[in-house]
Structure 1
Amino acid sequence: MYRPDGPIVIAAGGTGGHLFPGQALAQELRRRGRKIVLITDERVQRFDTLFPGADIFSVPSATPKDRGISGLAKAAPAILSGIAQAFGILGRVQPSAVIGFGGYPTLPPIAAAILRRIPTCVHEQNAVLGRVNRLVAPYVHAIASTFAGPKFLRPRDEDKLVLTGNPVRDAVMTYAAAPYSAPGTGRINLLVFGGSQGARVMSDIVPGALSRLPEVLRSRLDVVQQARPEDIDRVRAVYEQAGVHAELQSFFEDMPARIAAAHLVIGRSGASTVAELSVIGRPSILVPLPHSLDNDQKANAEKLQSAGAGFMIEQKNFTEDALSERLTALLNDATTLGSAAKAALAQGAPNAVRRLADLVELLGRGEFNSAKAKQLVDGSGPSGPLLFARGEC
């Protein structure tokens, strides 16, 4: 049983790529006067400040360490325990709808919601349908998506797919469509990061690559780089020897502002990074994480590259010489950088959070059917069209 006026349950894993869109949705739903419940895994203590005012519950889960049956068998006890605990939590909070943002930590609450027949949807941030979302797709009411036709979506589930875009946080929306001017002969702002804790490969490759740039470019650089604490000293030493001005931290609280200030970004291609680059509108060199499940980061980077919004370098080809050559060409080509910034902005979905909130509230009222969906597709919903990937998109 569920209550149409009950809270919205957000199920999100412990990584920023899953939590940030969940946080964005919570912010929008709170503006609409909705109560929020977050169900996540044991890492909840690190992220409870992202969901102020929400009731937060932690349930066990596990990500299979090995592929195949053996991996699932090892993870099964924790997952089953999590489903049982989530089943009890949902019985107490009586939500109007449950939405999951992917990853194995969301499997227990989504499975429990399905068992309780609560209106349920999942959101896919990447160009590849994640394994948990793929598993539950036949049983949920709707699949919200960042990209039309994500890889591994089954034909039988296509009618559930709604193209909402990937929600971004209020902090990102502050800089949505911030004006961009390609560097001329003045200072060049370069932002380098590799995820919430910084990727080691960025510390290994980027400083040496910048040291190889022609002096006329190198002397104009203002580098902001996120690096792991254990890497900061050696990265700083390389920059100092090369005469490159650099600001180094292990974490930047104001990352959206840093993106908006950048002429060019070098980073991974996780879903949140791609969404934020697109909403703000900044050109990028993207290095997909090579061991991500199903190569989702590569698929994300390919989407931006094919749109002319970014430039992908696979990690196997990400060398100091290759990066230096690419940077020399780009930083001397204001036209290409300006065009890429414009193309990135065209890929953004600044209304994604409102579209997703509309969808969740529609589900919570028990009104998600073809007639109501058509109203949203036609643009008569409160936030404009929710596009079905099989139709207009």
Structure 2
Amino acid sequence: MKLRPEGPVVIAAGGTGGHLFPGQALAQELRRRGRHIVLITDERVQRFDTLFPGADIFSVPSATPNDRGLVGLAKSAPAILSGIAQAFGILGRVEPSVVIGFGGYPTLPPLAAAILRRIPTCVHEQNAVLGRVNRLVAPYVHAIASTFAGPKFMRPRDAGKLVVTGNPVRDAVMAHAGAPYAAPDAGARINLLVFGGSQGARVMSDVVPGALARLPEALRARLDVVQQARPEDIDRVRNLYSEAGIHAELQSFFDDMPARIAAAHLVIGRSGASTVSELSVIGRPSILVPLPHSLDNDQKANAEKLQAAGAGLMIEQKYFTEETLAERLSGFFADATTLASAARAALSQGAPNAVRRLADLVEALGRGEFHAVHNAAPLADDIGPSGPLLFAQGGC
């Protein structure tokens, strides 16, 4: 297919917020540059018109294998093949300059169709582990953008395509990037934010209220808890906090989560890619509980990166008990300097310019410029550890 540098950018994204939010961030940046956006996703297309305003949105079939064996792949094959055929036709009509996928099985049909049409194609990996779809298409795409310098399962033969951009965050997050952090003084109010992903998490409702109830009364009286909980858990959790004398605001969904993170002294949550990136860009300490059954333990790998940097603490779910959490919280709240140090460490891991870097890469691919290298030294205006992108003329 002939290169059309002025053509639209096709974003393939779907599934969880960890895949959607970076795609949304890229769309926001590219629209500022005057680019037209096309989104290809799965059957949940009705959710995305507010996330991608002004974009042309197409839905194509896809499927996630129910198991990791050949049987699961065979059962999902008809939907995936149908999706590839439909995406092939859509790309022929749209004539994009480049296609970028953000991982997950909903992106497989449009990526496969783009590869078949010889359209410049790249993927973005948000996690410290290269996802299954990204791993599958890695030999055939032109660039692999990544949050981390050495994602697990990256094959040596594909390493030359790797460009460390960081994980793009939405404009709503960038509005709070590097927000000043003031650890709570002795006797001051403590803002604690608790959430478990876009739909909350049962384990947070089961463990956190009981853990806070174990804290000394004087400490409980200082707490202002904001917690996301599933609708069926809210009344139970509210009663537990009331009995413990803890002030708490509970909702099943917060549409201003970046502002809530910025207002928090400490965050307790899962360690999906978007959560980890938003904590780092804003700069907030955290206690992270990785989803125990995530594919390839990607959430655990993400949490380990922040813990190793001193930005917080990882507790595996099997050890996430009221007793353990109460002990860890007591340690955090006993010394404000510990919280302040963790906040600084989190900020040092952020990449607020990731969306610009990724947009630069996407546009360079669309112009037929082959990506070259990334450097370890950060840009002067960048907080994060990834370095400047360099591009060299060359065919895709």
Decide: shared fold, TM above 0.5. Answer: yes
1:118-143: CA deviation from partner (whole Å, max 9, x where unpaired): 00000000000000000000000000
Deviation at 1:368, TM superposition (A): 1.4
Question: Using the alignment, how far apart are the partners of 1:242 and 1:362 within structure 2?
Answer: 57
Question: Using the alignment, how far apart are the partners of 1:172 and 1:354 within structure 2?
Answer: 14
Instruction: Work out whether residues 163 and 374 of structure 2, in 8 Å CA contact, stay in contact via their aligned partners in 1.
Output: no
Alignment pair present for 1:276 and 2:258: no
- 1:391 is matched with none
Deviation at 1:195, TM superposition (A): 0.1
Alignment pair present for 1:361 and 2:363: yes
Alignment of 1:30-49 (within 5 A): 30-49=31-50
- 1:297 is matched with 299
Q: Match of 2:389, as an amino acid?
A: L
Identify if the C-alpha distance between structure 1 residues 270 and 34 changes in structure 2 by more than 3 Å, giving closer, same or farther.
Answer: same
- 1:69 is matched with 70
Alignment pair present for 1:340 and 2:342: yes
Q: Match of 1:155, as an amino acid?
A: P
- 1:133 is matched with 134
Question: Using the alignment, how far apart are the partners of 1:369 and 1:195 within structure 2?
Answer: 34
Alignment of 1:99-114 (within 5 A): 99-114=100-115
Question: Using the alignment, how far apart are the partners of 2:375 and 2:323 within structure 1?
Answer: 53
Identify if the C-alpha distance between structure 1 residues 339 and 387 changes in structure 2 by more than 3 Å, giving closer, same or farther.
Answer: farther
Identify if the C-alpha distance between structure 1 residues 365 and 199 changes in structure 2 by more than 3 Å, giving closer, same or farther.
Answer: same
- 2:394 is matched with none
Instruction: Work out whether residues 377 and 387 of structure 1, in 8 Å CA contact, stay in contact via their aligned partners in 2.
Output: no
Q: Match of 1:229, as an amino acid?
A: P
How many pairs are equivalent? 384
Question: Using the alignment, how far apart are the partners of 1:362 and 1:242 within structure 2?
Answer: 57
Question: Using the alignment, how far apart are the partners of 1:44 and 1:54 within structure 2?
Answer: 12
Deviation at 1:369, TM superposition (A): 4.7
Equivalent position to 1:190, from 188, 192, 212: 192
User: What is the TM-score with the length of structure 2 in the denominator?
Assistant: 0.95
- 1:221 is matched with 223
Q: Match of 2:346, as an amino acid?
A: A
- 2:321 is matched with 319
Question: Using the alignment, how far apart are the partners of 2:290 and 2:311 within structure 1?
Answer: 15
- 1:19 is matched with 20
Query: What's the secondary structure of 1:17's corresponding residue?
Result: helix
- 2:177 is matched with 176
Instruction: Work out whether residues 120 and 366 of structure 2, in 8 Å CA contact, stay in contact via their aligned partners in 1.
Output: yes
Question: Using the alignment, how far apart are the partners of 1:48 and 1:286 within structure 2?
Answer: 31
Deviation at 1:67, TM superposition (A): 1.2
Query: What's the secondary structure of 1:166's corresponding residue?
Result: coil
1:24-63: CA deviation from partner (whole Å, max 9, x where unpaired): 0000000000000000001111122100000000000000
Q: Match of 2:182, as an amino acid?
A: S
Deviation at 1:345, TM superposition (A): 0.1
- 2:261 is matched with 259
Deviation at 1:387, TM superposition (A): 7.5
Identify if the C-alpha distance between structure 1 residues 265 and 36 changes in structure 2 by more than 3 Å, giving closer, same or farther.
Answer: same
Question: Using the alignment, how far apart are the partners of 1:321 and 1:384 within structure 2?
Answer: 42
Identify if the C-alpha distance between structure 1 residues 332 and 34 changes in structure 2 by more than 3 Å, giving closer, same or farther.
Answer: same
- 1:59 is matched with 60
Question: Using the alignment, how far apart are the partners of 1:38 and 1:231 within structure 2?
Answer: 35
Q: Match of 2:388, as an amino acid?
A: P
Identify if the C-alpha distance between structure 1 residues 268 and 105 changes in structure 2 by more than 3 Å, giving closer, same or farther.
Answer: same
Question: Using the alignment, how far apart are the partners of 2:199 and 2:220 within structure 1?
Answer: 26
1:241-294: CA deviation from partner (whole Å, max 9, x where unpaired): 000000000000100000000000000000000000000000000000000000
Instruction: Work out whether residues 14 and 44 of structure 1, in 8 Å CA contact, stay in contact via their aligned partners in 2.
Output: no
- What is the Cα-based RMSD across aligned positions, in Å? 1.8
Query: What's the secondary structure of 2:73's corresponding residue?
Result: helix
Query: What's the secondary structure of 1:291's corresponding residue?
Result: coil
Identify if the C-alpha distance between structure 1 residues 128 and 376 changes in structure 2 by more than 3 Å, giving closer, same or farther.
Answer: closer
- 1:204 is matched with 206
- 1:307 is matched with 309
Question: Using the alignment, how far apart are the partners of 2:176 and 2:378 within structure 1?
Answer: 29
Q: Match of 2:128, as an amino acid?
A: A
Deviation at 1:333, TM superposition (A): 1.2
Question: Using the alignment, how far apart are the partners of 2:260 and 2:364 within structure 1?
Answer: 36
- 2:250 is matched with 248
Question: Using the alignment, how far apart are the partners of 1:216 and 1:339 within structure 2?
Answer: 24
Q: Match of 2:56, as an amino acid?
A: D
- 1:386 is matched with 389
Identify if the C-alpha distance between structure 1 residues 202 and 384 changes in structure 2 by more than 3 Å, giving closer, same or farther.
Answer: closer
Instruction: Work out whether residues 211 and 239 of structure 1, in 8 Å CA contact, stay in contact via their aligned partners in 2.
Output: yes
Query: What's the secondary structure of 1:153's corresponding residue?
Result: coil
Instruction: Work out whether residues 376 and 387 of structure 1, in 8 Å CA contact, stay in contact via their aligned partners in 2.
Output: no
- 2:122 is matched with 121
Question: Using the alignment, how far apart are the partners of 1:47 and 1:245 within structure 2?
Answer: 35
Instruction: Work out whether residues 281 and 341 of structure 1, in 8 Å CA contact, stay in contact via their aligned partners in 2.
Output: yes
Deviation at 1:386, TM superposition (A): 2.1
Q: Match of 1:205, as an amino acid?
A: V
Query: What's the secondary structure of 2:44's corresponding residue?
Result: helix
User: What is the TM-score with the length of structure 1 in the denominator?
Assistant: 0.95
